[in-house]
Every structure is written in C-alpha cells, then in structure tokens.
Structure 1
Amino acid sequence: MRHTRELDGNQEPIRPSPGRAAAPEAAARNRVAAQLASGTPVLPVVLVLIVSVIVVVGLFGGAGHTWLPLLAAGPALAATTSGPGGVLCVGLLAGVLGTMLGVRDGARGHELAAVLSALAAVTLASGLAGALRGRRERVLAAVRSVAEAAQHALLQPVPAVVGPFQVAVRYSAAAAEARIGGDLYALVPTPYGVRLIVGDVRGKGLPAVGVAALVVGVFREAAYEEPDLLAVVDRIERSLARNLRCDDFVTAVVAGHPEPDRLELVNCGHAPPLLVRGADVVPVEPALPAPPLGLRALTGETPALQTLPFADGHQLLLYTDGVTEARDRDREFYPLAERLAHHLCEEPARTLTALHDEVLKHVGGRLHDDAALLLLRKPTASTPGPGQPLPGVPRHSGTGEKSYAAKSPTGT
C-alpha cells in the first residue's frame, strides 16, 4: 500500500474477490508482472524492435543510419529490469540489428564501427549497473527479512480469539518500506485476566522503534507478574525514566479484564478509547488527567484506575492519533467515532478492515503518521432480534455514560 505495511492479528486483510469480467485483465497484468519480476527484459527488447522499425522506415528516406545510435537505449533500459545476462542479450540483439541495418543502408565502415563501439560500451556499462542493482536488491531482501523478524518480535500477531474476547488489529507504519514504527500494541492472557496496551512513542524512525520495543517488553513481563494494573504502569514508568531522554515520552492506554463484565483502564495522556454499547459509541475520557509515560517525574501526577462495565456485545476500540489526525485534501480530520458506528458488525476484523481502508481513502492512499487500531469485542451468547437491546446494554444511553468509577493509586 503506498509504502505502508498493514499488520493484523488475522494476518492478511480481507479483500474482495475480483469479478469474472475482470479476470482476463487481471491475469494479463499478473503475467507481465511475473515476467518483469523474473528479470525477462521485455521492455528493452520491445524498444530495440521499435527503433529498428524506425531505422527501416528511415532507409527509404536515405538517412536510416542516423537513427542507429538509438539502439543503445535497449541495453541501458535492460539494466533497470534484468541482470547482466539480460543486458548482454539485448545488447547483442541491438548489435546484430544495427549491423544489418547499417550494411543495408550503405553506412561507411568507420561510421558503423563507431556506432557499434558505442553500443558495446553502453552494453558493458549497463551490465555492470544491472549487476550492482541485483546486489542491492539482495541486500534489501536481507534487510527486509530482518525487519520481518523484528516486526514479529515487537508486534506479535494477535489471534482472533483471546480469552473471552474477539480481537482484531490493524497497524500501518508511515515510513517508506517500514514494517514497524513508533506506535505499539500488545495483548497477553495473564493469571490476572487478559491485559493489553496501545501506545504512541513521541517521534519517528529507529529511535521511536527502540522505545516501543522497550515499552512492549516491560509490559509483557509486568503484566504476568503484577496483580494490580497500576503496578504494571508503574513498572513501565520506572523503566522509561531510566532509559528515555528528557524530551521523550510515550502516550498509552493500558487495559485489563480482571473479572467478568468489567474492564480496568489506565490512560496516560493517550486518546480516549471508544466504548461501543449497542449502536452507541462513547469516548471513555479519563476521570483524572495523567501525564504520558516518562513524564511523571516532571509533573508529580499519577494516573488513576478506571473501571467500566463490559458485558456481552460490548466493544472497545483503542487507537493512536495517526488515525484521528489523518487529514483529507480539505484538511478535515477523519471522524473515527462517527465512522466506527457506521461500520460496526459482529466481526472485529471486518470492522477494522473497513475503517483502515476508509482512512487510507480519506488521506489519499498514504498515511503521514503511524496508525494502530485494536478492537476488543465480547461476543454475545445469542444474537438478539431486531430492535432488541444486547444483553446487559441499556436501551438508551445518555451523557452519564461518560462517567466511570475511578480510584486513586492508593486504592481509595
């Protein structure tokens, strides 16, 4: 996509199948792409033949040999699509055609020799360029394999079902050819219930990836060891305080499911998650604003633990600002809450696929910031009838749903 790579817990995104009418055209495109990928110099050969036709036509005007130098474009173009062998074949073809056309046109010996010498020089230089290009491609392939390994180590694939929840993830890195970026997510089953984190590291590039790896590593370890969700956040804070520069920080939401029908949230300067109850989409604003991770020592403020009901049919969307701050050509932000309500369904993967594709369409095909979406859904025991509310979900919701119980880090 553009140079952004999509990652999700179910691996490949859901894509519509092409219709029968488009099948021949798609098959033709696939054949051409396969030829180019295999190194077959299709375009250079076609160019040589076109130039040959031009020379033949020029023969009738008595100056066909003046077009012979254009044959050198064949091996030069071959270096962009094939290796030294393909370049040599195209160069030999151009040389044979040039000799035949020059002799037929009655070109002088020294003129024909100059043209063929130039063609040989271009062929040798293009062959060297093709060899260097092939070497760079092999190095890039090795680097990409390392990036794939780093991606799986940092952003491990999330299964479609974790504990009592259906889960889906979509991730796109804004950096060209990147697999990972400064946004992070992790979801792990622990002795204290399912726990998850979605965060956004300040900055981009390799430094942001390093901080993201640190946060995810500490979270996975602390989530298994700490019975209290606030203690998990404290472990991450202490680790960042030792390793971050003074101007770096991480915004994050850490969530846990300690018991049935209840979720715990700790919001550290991050965008509020979206709670879905039936057809209502409600932002879960933090009861007490807290600084991002890594800045607690500067402010002295500590995050609070929020609890909210999470019954059958409820969904929770966690995301990063790469989604909500995506702008179209008119500089309008993407309305995530509104569009989430439009795309809701019982399959989180389909919901996120629709949102992700719509965000890309909104920005014109390429994101300018890393973007992550994680949707958690507690499936219903049975599907309710039309107009019937989901089990445990009120028929009407008001502004009071934005207020959830909160307790301070001391537990009061």
Structure 2
Amino acid sequence: MPIEEVGESSLPEVRRMRRPERSTIRSSPNLLPVATMLGIAAVDAATGSMYVLLPVYAAGPAIASARGTVRSVTLMGAAAAVLCLLSAWKTGRYDDLRLPVALTAIAYVTLASAYAARSRRKIEQRLVDVREVACTLEDVLFTPVPPTIGPVRIGASYVSANHATRIGGDLYDVEPFPGGLRLVIADVQGKGLGTVRCASVALAAFRESAPSAHALTDVGLRIEQALERRTDGERFVTGILAQIGTDGSLLVFNHGHPPPLLLPRAGRPMPVESDEPVPPFGLAVLTGTTDLRDSVTRLTLNPGDRLFFYTDGLSEARNSTGHFYPVHERVPRLLKSGTPEEALDLLRADVATFTSGPPDDDSALLLLEFQSPS
C-alpha cells in the first residue's frame, strides 16, 4: 500500500501506557449448553426409539463447566434431567431400564462438571488478581508522557510483542528540568521478566536524576550505577539520553542505540550520529568508560524541527520476504505533518501494512517537535 493510502483502519493495536478497557459485551455461558441439549432433543424426537440418546443430555452440564459457574452447571444438569425424562415419556421408554442409567450418568457428569467449574473459577480469580497487580506495576513503570513540555510538543507510542502485557524490554520517559527537558529511550538486551526488571531500574534512575542533575552526563552515570547495584550484571541496555533546552540546544548521548532522525522544517532529514562511540548502559565498568563529555552530540533545533527516536523493534520489523522496514526512506514523509501523536499513528499503520502481521518485537517511539520559545 502506498504511504499516502494508509488510513486509520490500518492502525495496529498501539499501547499508550493506559490500561486496556475490558469488553462489556459477552455471550451467555449458558447459550451453548442449552442449544446443545435442544439439538439432542430434536434428534431424539426425530429418531424415536431407534437410538437411545438419553445419556447424551449429560453434554449440557459438561459444556457449561467450560465457562459457567457452579450454579449454572447445576441448572444445566437439572435441565438435562428434565429433557431426559420428557424424551423418555414421549418415546415410550419411561419404564425402560436405560432411563435410570441415563439419569445416573447425568447426575455424575453434573457433579464432576460442578467440581471442574469451581476449580476453574478459583484459578481464574487468581489470574485476575495477578493481572491486576501486573497492571498496577505497569502503570507505575510507564506513566503517560505529557503532550508538551515548555516549547516542545511530544508524541509517544509503545507496542509490546507480548499481547498479555503492555510492557517489555523497551522503555522511554521524558522529564522536565530547569533548562528544558531530558529524555531516555532504551532497549534492554534479552527477553522475559528479567528485561522488565532491568527496564524498571533504568527508568527509576532516570526519573530520580533527570529533573535535578547538573549535567546530562550525571544522569547517565546514575543509570550505570543503578544497573550495577540492582541487576545481575548479565544484561546491558542500548539507549539514548538527550536534552533539549528552551533555546533549542540539543545534546545527545548514544549508548549503542539506533541514532535518532532529525526532520528539519526546511532541509533534508538526517540521522543524529554520535561524535564518539559510547558503550551500552551496563558495560561502562567493563570498558572503563566513565567520562562521556567528549562523546556528546551538540545541535541546535529551529522552530518546526522534529526529532524522532525509536528502538530496533521498528528498524528490524520484517515483511513477508524478510526485508527490514526502511526507516530512513519512509519515516520522513510520514512524520512531517499532523500532531506528533497523529504522525506516530500514521507510522504505526504503515509498519503494520509493511509487515502484514503482528509485531515480533517490542517497539518504542518518541517524536518531539521544537516550537518557538514563549
């Protein structure tokens, strides 16, 4: 699909750090077992005494145990017994020995199904409790990014490859400080709960130091120290620390991360490359790199300029033929117009069209637009 044709209908499920709403429209758990028993009754009436389908009514409470409560299973068992008696009376098998056998089978299946439903409900309640705790932790870990800080408009987007959670190993945050704003965007090496813990440590260190640290290098040092103290030391974090002043001055430290893309209001897009290589967070101790002052990238933003940060979940998204998403070719056209949030939505839609499938890696995006200082 051409870039110009991407519309809102193509948008993937984008998680913006808010708890997903639960669906309020659910089919009745009794609908399927009732329909099943009515279907058995219809077949039994059509075949007459040719087949003995009386025990088959036990399918009603058995099916009800998959979704229903103990009460609904019991009701389905009672309905199955009534239908069994009516079918026996209508086909002249009321005095048949097979009738009490069928009723006994229905009773046993109902009891077993009620026990299964009770056990299932307990497990479901535990899962609900765990999910509520996880949602609370996610809300603490990822707070919404404000739409503006000083003269900077901000758009943020996060998509997790794991549909059961809203977060993964990618992280970002934006914090104001007296001279403007500071941001971090990073990707923890590896997968699993260990990456989430590592991400939480890095985020906590950034949030604690970014608003008050004298220099951006101090923020990076605090993240390094936190990772060294509070993690197992077996993971590293590629990331970017950036600072935008109220006068448009830009400082960028790139710790082994894909470089951000500068989208000037007038001029050609360009990646913001590092002056000197800096190791990922968590590896400074091994490399002996502690002084980052010589590795900072300095630029000046003009009003209307945009700066795009992303993780490798975007640059390494593949299509059906195995080709990577062409970030530098398609992103500039998609992010030039609209609000930062609208531009990121358009980009997400284009990536979904390119890959023709769900994401296979976490992806975090930040788009900042510098406006005229007030």
- TM-score range (shorter-chain normalised) is 0.7 to 0.9
Q: Which consecutive residues of structure 2, in runs of 5 or more, have no partner in the other structure?
A: 1-11
C-alpha change, 1:112 and 1:339, in structure 2 (3 Å) is farther
For residues 34-70 of structure 1, give each alpha carbon's deviation from its aligned partner in whole angstroms, at most 9, with x where no partner exists: 242xx541122112111211111111xx4242x3333
Match of 1:341 in 2: 332
Match of 1:140 in 2: 127
Name which of 201, 209, 228 aligns with 1:222.
209
8 Å CA contact retained: 1:35, 1:42? no
Name which of 230, 247, 260 aligns with 1:243.
230
C-alpha change, 1:346 and 1:216, in structure 2 (3 Å) is same
Q: Which consecutive residues of structure 1, in runs of 5 or more, have no partner in the other structure?
A: 14-29, 382-412
Match of 1:253 in 2: 240
C-alpha displacement of 1:146: 1.3
8 Å CA contact retained: 2:248, 2:370? no
Q: Distance in 2 between matches of 1:139 and 1:157?
A: 28
Is the counterpart of residue 368 in structure 1 residue 354 in structure 2? Answer: no
Q: Distance in 2 between matches of 1:12 and 1:131?
A: 28
Match of 2:4 in 1: none
For residues 72-101 of structure 1, give each alpha carbon's deviation from its aligned partner in whole angstroms, at most 9, with x where no partner exists: 222222122221122122222222111111
After superposition, residues 84-103 of structure 1 pair within 5 angstroms as 84-103=70-89
Q: Distance in 1 between matches of 2:39 and 2:330?
A: 52
Name which of 187, 194, 209 aligns with 1:200.
187
C-alpha displacement of 1:5: 7.2
Q: Distance in 2 between matches of 1:358 and 1:118?
A: 57
Is the counterpart of residue 131 in structure 1 residue 127 in structure 2? Answer: no
Is the counterpart of residue 287 in structure 1 residue 275 in structure 2? Answer: yes
Name which of 319, 323, 326 aligns with 1:332.
323
Is the counterpart of residue 7 in structure 1 residue 32 in structure 2? Answer: no
After superposition, residues 13-412 of structure 1 pair within 5 angstroms as 34-36=25-27, 39-59=28-48, 62-65=49-52, 67-107=53-93, 109-278=96-265, 280-301=268-289, 303=292, 304-344=295-335, 345-379=337-371
Q: How many residues align?
A: 354
Equivalent residue letter for 2:283: L
Higher RCO, Cα 8 Å, sep 6+ = 2
For residues 99-145 of structure 1, give each alpha carbon's deviation from its aligned partner in whole angstroms, at most 9, with x where no partner exists: 11123223353211111211222222222222222222222222222
C-alpha change, 1:6 and 1:146, in structure 2 (3 Å) is farther
C-alpha change, 1:164 and 1:35, in structure 2 (3 Å) is same
Q: Distance in 1 between matches of 2:325 and 2:65?
A: 43
Helix, strand or coil: the match of 1:252?
Answer: strand
Q: Distance in 1 between matches of 2:347 and 2:114?
A: 46
C-alpha displacement of 1:168: 1.6
Helix, strand or coil: the match of 1:34?
Answer: coil
